[in-house]
Amino acid sequence: MELKKFFLKPNNELESTGVRARSRRITCKKCQNIVPVSKIRKNNFICPECGAYMTVRARRRILMLTDKRSFFELDRDLQSMNVLGFPGYEEKLSQAMEKSREKEGVICGTATIGGYKTCIFAMDANFMMGSMGAVVGEKIARLFEYATGRNLPVIGVTVSGGARMQEGMISLMQMSKVSAAVKRHSDRGNLYIVLLTNPTTGGVDASFAMLGDVTLAEPGARVGFAGPRVIEKTLKTKLPEDFQRAERVLECGFIDAIVPRPEQKKYLEKLLRLHGVHKMRS
């Protein structure tokens, strides 16, 4: 067993480093073309063949948006417990930890972006589909409180299937907890920028994902409250192709701008500058 584990390939091939990684290839889920990992990484995890946006791990996402070596992680050791004794939850958690190589579904900390000091959180789709349990809610609420105390902006990268069922009402009420922390941050005149990525749905959509001063989205990201399958089942109709896609949600009036991946860091820099955010001396 142990030996077998030793030879297991890392779950997320995009993240493996070193010489071996350079020779590895992955198949684009959309166009089925086989592309070298190194090429994809250089291309901001956009398929060079068809332009499809691939999932980016939270840690990689932060690297892509912040200045080199500026990220300082906060609350990295908070871990979930099975408070309700929900059947199978421990197994789900350990699978998620193995798959994401993170302790929970969100990473929080401080960083600079173009020299501007900011707080940032990024959710991780590889951790139980970015679902929000007590730890995810706690880490984000703590980050907002940290930012409020220091008058720092917060940048949030969301990806989530919603509240984490296995924690019952405790997870649902994280929506209330984080929304209240966002309000306090805002009432002190601080800036909160949301970057919606594919997919941002359910309880996260119905709380802090929709509470930004500026709401940005990645092209094609699914953004909505109810899952498309639930709606199809309720209405017994096929949904339009662009339903809940960022471009359509922008037309409906809920997104400020759609920003392609290669331009996101520059875009954030500009936003921070226009809000008079304090620049660190380098």
Partner 1 sequence: MEDYEIVLNARKEDRKVASDYIAALFPDFLEFHGDRLFGDDKAIIAGLGSLGDMPVTVIGVEKGKGTEGRVYRNFGSAHPEGYRKALRLMKQAEKFKRPVLCLVDTAGAFCGIDAEERGQGRAIAECLYEMSTLRTPVISIVIGEGGSGGALALSHSDRIWMLEDAYFSVVSPENCANILWKTIDRAADAAKSLGLTAKKLYELGLIDRILSGKNMSKLKESLVSEYEVLLAQSESDLLEARYRRFRKVGY
Please report how close the Cβ of residue 274 comes to partner 1 at its closest, in angstroms. Answer: 24
Q: What is the 3-state secondary structure (H, E, C) of 127-139?
A: CHHHCECHHHHHH
- Dihedral sign, CA of 22, 27, 28, 32? positive
CB of 215 to partner 1, least distance (A): 9
Q: Which of 25, 150, 183, 278 binds partner 1 (CB under 8 A)?
A: 183
Binding mask 2-41 for partner 1 (x = CB under 8 A): ----------------------------------------
173 touches partner 1 (CB under 8 A): yes
Q: What gap in Å lies between CA 278 and CA 153, rounded to an integer? A: 10
The whole-angstrom separation of Cα 224 and Cα 243 is 9
- At position 97, the amino acid (one-letter code) is M
Query: Is residue 203 involved in binding partner 1 (CB under 8 A)?
Result: yes
According to CB under 8 A, which residues from 225 to 244 bind partner 1? Answer: 225-226, 230-231, 234-235, 239-240, 243-244
DSSP 8-state code for residue 104: S
Q: How far is the CB of 132 from partner 1 (least distance, A)?
A: 10
Site membership for partner 1, residue 108 (CB under 8 A): no
Q: Which residues contact 171 (CB under 8 A, 6 or more apart)?
A: 131, 132, 133, 134, 137, 163, 164, 165, 203
- Closer to partner 1 at the Cβ: 61 or 245? 245
Omega cis (within 30) before 199: yes
Residues in touch with partner 1 (CB under 8 A): 83-88, 133-135, 137-138, 141, 163-165, 167-177, 179-184, 187, 202-203, 205-211, 223-226, 230-231, 234-235, 239-240, 243-244, 248, 252-254
